[in-house]
Structure 1
Amino acid sequence: MSTPPIPGRVAVVTGASSGIGAATARALAAVGYTVALLARRIDRIEALARELGNGSIAIRADVTDRDQLVAAARRVQDELGGADVLMNNAGVMLLGPFSSKRRDDYRTMVEANLLGAITATEVFLDQLTSGSGGDLINISSVAGRTARATNGVYAATKWGINGWSESLRQELLPDVRVTLIEPGVVDTELPSHITDEATREAVQKGYDVATVTPEDVAEVIAFVLARPRHLAINEVLLRPADQLG
């Protein structure tokens, strides 16, 4: 899958310190994008910005903190001329049996996965609509289509992303193309964040058997963004070839 060079465009990637975010930043930089890397782990994204070059910058920003996102948007505008692409990738997957013991996990997922994407989009929307055509990439999940035992709140955040993305698609066309990316099992650090030990071990076993790589997902995103403006790829569901559900 080849992607033609697209120099001069600016992409903002949240959750850029690892996994799909970091891989997509590399894929976009390889075709000429300047990338603004947003994440909480500043040391990681500073190193990645140096690796990418081409004016890429690292900005410490937690998507649950609107003030940090506003400051990040100001830097992107002032230093890079504004964002052409926003990729809402930041999120956590804190699976486990539904219980009051995990109420903090539930709030964390809603605030990061759903409200974080909504807030980042609200903050950067003027930049996306002020140029020659913007793109919004929302990272959802297979869990946005199929809920399972122990993933209820995580699935709720992803179902929320799916519905919100479709509404935005209709509202923002043709100025901003909205694309929903729904990966299955991807080889990232997400399982390591699970606080319930039994669930974490069970999930990790599944990840050890069937995964695609972050680079696989990044290649798809780069392809979507490279399509001519008259074409919008609004939804992409991708799984490991041997993932059943």
Structure 2
Amino acid sequence: MPDISGGPLNRRAPGPPLRGRVAVVTGAARGIGEALSRHLSEAGMHVALIGREEETLMAVAGSLPGRSICVEADITDRRALADAARRVEAELGAASVVVANAGIAVSGPFDRTAPELWQRVIDVNLIGSAGTARAFLPQLTASRGYFLQIASTAAFGAAPMMSAYCASKAGAESFALALRGELEPGGVQVGIAYLHWTGTDMLTGIDDHPVLETLRRNQPRPARRVHSTDEVARWLTRGITRRAPNIYCPPWLRWCQPLRPLFPALVARITRRELRERPSDELSSPVEVLGAGGRADWDSHRTSPHDR
């Protein structure tokens, strides 16, 4: 198994491959970030939790079995990320694993979504992921570490009413693929995690969402299952341990990769039919930021503007 320590890749340290190393998880206050932080801590890693909700972050950090710190930071703020990286290195050591997990989603028609809100989804999900990689790249280079980009099956086929989220996740996947080619010669590996239906608060009320409910209903029965954050975190931890180039949550998603050219047309056909049959008042619901984490980010962003 490849080493993720600071030494050469062919000089493995004894013992479990993650124990004693440093992991950074963005969006760690709740959901997948919280569950993954817990699993990495249980695997013996020192974990730095980064997010917007300081009190929630502190509660999560205090519940972890291992050594941890929490840093309240907006991942779209380059200076805040640089400060976070310096603090992680000073208090825990150089990061060996960095997980770009922070993300938000907005549901609603493009033409009724405020430009600032649409831009915020892109900024957090795509620009924030790139900023996270940039801030921690010196540490990952020194540790010959592993950067994991959390992507989504939203990158497989874009859904109407979710234009910003789908565009940002497709962009994040492309960014990670490009970064992989740049960093691998120097010993830094880049992984991409593809997540399907996961039981975070983003999915609260999924059956009331005209597009998401339709997509889920038209999928094969096994593909409709909503997986718990703990289950997804276990898959992610297993992939991080192996420094996997691709992590599929659930694992059967790997068999969908060869079929990806078919998905955009299939999704478009299903949603076009559904949207035509829906009463217009069902499609005129207010634009909504999905999940408590996304709403906390948007509220903080509106009340605390900063130069990026």
Name the TM-score, length of structure 1 as normaliser.
0.86
Greater shift, 61-70 or 13-22, is seen at 61-70
Partner residue of 2:239? Answer: 224
Give a deviation string over 1:170-216, Cα, whole Å, max 9, x none. 1101411111011111000124699xxx74x7647969x73111112
Aligned-pair identity (%): 34
- Give 4+ residue runs of structure 1 displaced > 3 Å after superposition: 191-194, 201-207
Question: Where do residues 187-226 of structure 1 align in structure 2 (5 Å cutoff)?
Answer: 187-191=199-203, 199=209, 203=212, 210-226=225-241
Check conservation: 1:85, 1:137, Cα contact below 8 A: yes
In structure 2, relative to structure 1, the CA distance for the partners of 1:51 and 1:59 (3 Å cut) is: same
Q: For 1:234 and 1:224, locate their aligned partners in 2 and report how far apart those are by CA, in whole Å.
A: 8
For structure 2, which runs of at least 5 residues remain unmatched after alignment? 1-15, 218-223, 253-262, 268-308
Q: For 2:157 and 2:165, locate their aligned partners in 1 and report how far apart those are by CA, in whole Å.
A: 11
Partner residue of 2:294? Answer: none
Partner residue of 1:163? Answer: 174
In structure 2, relative to structure 1, the CA distance for the partners of 1:166 and 1:79 (3 Å cut) is: same
Structure with more of its chain in helix, by fraction: 2
Q: For 1:27 and 1:237, locate their aligned partners in 2 and report how far apart those are by CA, in whole Å.
A: 17
Q: For 1:221 and 1:107, locate their aligned partners in 2 and report how far apart those are by CA, in whole Å.
A: 28
Give the one of 53, 59, 73 matched to 1:41.
Answer: 53
Q: For 1:210 and 1:105, locate their aligned partners in 2 and report how far apart those are by CA, in whole Å.
A: 30
Partner residue of 1:30? Answer: 42
For structure 1, which runs of at least 5 residues remain unmatched after alignment? none
Secondary structure, aligned partner of 1:146: coil
Check conservation: 1:37, 1:56, Cα contact below 8 A: yes
Q: For 2:40 and 2:70, locate their aligned partners in 1 and report how far apart those are by CA, in whole Å.
A: 15
Shift, 1:95, TM fit: 2.0
In structure 2, relative to structure 1, the CA distance for the partners of 1:204 and 1:76 (3 Å cut) is: farther
Check conservation: 1:162, 1:180, Cα contact below 8 A: yes
Which structure has the larger Rg over C-alpha atoms?
A: 2
Question: Where do residues 46-85 of structure 1 align in structure 2 (5 Å cutoff)?
Answer: 46-85=58-97
Partner residue of 1:108? Answer: 120
Check conservation: 1:93, 1:193, Cα contact below 8 A: no
Q: For 2:57 and 2:73, locate their aligned partners in 1 and report how far apart those are by CA, in whole Å.
A: 11
Give a deviation string over 1:47-88, Cα, whole Å, max 9, x none. 111111432001101111111111111100111112111100
Give the one of 153, 160, 164 matched to 2:164.
Answer: 153
Give a deviation string over 1:80-127, Cα, whole Å, max 9, x none. 112111100001011211115432221111110000000111011000
Q: CA RMSD in A?
A: 2.7
Shift, 1:12, TM fit: 0.4
